[in-house]
Amino acid sequence: MSRTPFVAGNWKMHKTIAEAEEFITGLLPLAGAIDDVQIGVCVPFTAIQAVVDSTRGSSIEVYAQNVHAAEKGAYTGEISIAMLDELEVHGVVVGHSERRQLFNETDADLRAKVPALLAAGLTPIFCVGETDAQREGDETEAVLRTQVTEGLADVADEDLAKVTIAYEPVWAIGTGKVASPQQAQDACAFIRSLVADRSAAAAEAVRIQYGGSVKPDNAQELLALPDVDGALVGGAALEPQNFAAIVQAARA
Ligand code: PGA
């Protein structure tokens, strides 16, 4: 089965509304009509409405960067799935390593968030990945197994392929230290095998992105790997030309 590549740019805590609109104005002529790659921008909450409006009718999808699993309640500062759905986002990034490390997001949180998003018809971009110490300690597969198994535990087998999984080795995020093609391929193939333990059909169909220092000059090699179906891009996604170059690399 051929899987449509999916390239998403994660802006993190960058871009005011004005800066977000400037980015979209630059991106639309470069990538707004591409239909053989799924393209997403993961936008701070405050700019979501503006970016949904300015990308309407284009092929650019809009994602949030976090969400709370509960329907509503006394969770000061949190945003619910219904609130995001109302803004017409396509999906949400969950489990990013920055949220796991800096904001104590746990596998148990993800176990609730991923199926809750699917139930609302939104696409989770579910991030997993090992730290430097875990790789050095030969724990990469054990860590990925725990994260994938826990995070997807309450997703029905027939819904597994609706999740996009992002493999992001923590040591490669924002460091300029990209995983080697072999490391990226091995990890993504391992993640696919974990999905296959649940459903062979879902494993064939599920998209697995690589993330961690993806740039225009290394994207093609990574995106050509058999088990890498796209990229989750941080720093290089902040500027339309660089982001569009990575999208183009996914078309090859
Ligand atoms: P980076 O970030 O491309 O800047 O390494 C990737 C990410 O955090 O998703």
Q: What percent of the chain has pLDDT over 90?
A: 98
Sequence-distant (≥ 6) Cβ neighbours of residue 7 within 8 angstroms: 37, 38, 39, 40, 209, 230, 231, 233, 243, 246, 247, 250
Whether 41 is covered by a domain: the verdict is yes
The strand pair at 164-167 and 6-10 is best described as unpaired
Q: What pLDDT, in 10s, does the model give residues 160-181? A: 999 999 999 999 999 999 999 9
* Pocket (CB within 6 angstroms of ligand 1): 10, 168, 173-174, 211-214, 232-236
Neighbours of 7 (CB within 10 A): 28
Atom of ligand 1 nearest to the CA of 174: 5
Is residue 169 assigned to a domain? yes
Separation of CA 160 and ligand 1 centre (Å): 24
* Mean pLDDT (whole number) for 97-112: 98
Domain that holds residue 151: 6-251
Q: Out of 12, 132, 165, 173, give the residue to mutate to test ligand 1, the one with the largest number of ligand atoms within 8 Å of its CB.
A: 173
pLDDT confidence tier of residue 93, bands split at 50, 70 and 90:
very high
Nearest to 126 by CA among 159, 91, 156: 91
What is the per-residue pLDDT for 252? 73
The encoded tokens of residue 61 equal: 């999808």
CA dist 159 and 230 (Å) reads: 20
- Alpha carbon of 231 to ligand 1 centroid (Å): 9
Please give the tally of structural domains in the chain. Answer: 1
Inside any domain, residue 237: yes
Instruction: Say which CATH number the domain at 35 has.
Output: 3.20.20.70
Domain-located, residue 190 = yes
Q: Is residue 1 part of a domain?
A: no
CA torsion sign, 114 to 118 to 121 to 125? positive
Q: Is residue 36 part of a domain?
A: yes
Q: Is 68 a catalytic residue?
A: no
The predicted structure's pLDDT at residue 116: 98
Using the mean position of ligand 1's atoms as its centre, give its distance from the Cα of residue 127 in Å. Answer: 11
pLDDT (0 to 100) of residue 192: 98
Tokens 């290394």 sit at which residue?
218
Sorted by sequence, the CB contacts under 8 Å of residue 92 that are 6+ apart come out as: 63, 64, 65, 66, 67, 81, 84, 113, 117, 122, 123, 124, 125
Ligand 1 closest atom vs CA 93: 9
pTM above threshold 0.75 = yes
Q: Considering the domain boundaries, does residue 62 fall inside one? A: yes
DSSP state of 68: B
Is residue 90 annotated as part of the catalytic site, yes or no? no
Give the residue whose CA is nearest to atom 6 of ligand 1: 234
- Kindly report, residue by residue over 195-251, the tens digit of the pLDDT: 999 999 999 999 999 999 999 999 999 999 999 999 999 999 999 999 999 999 999
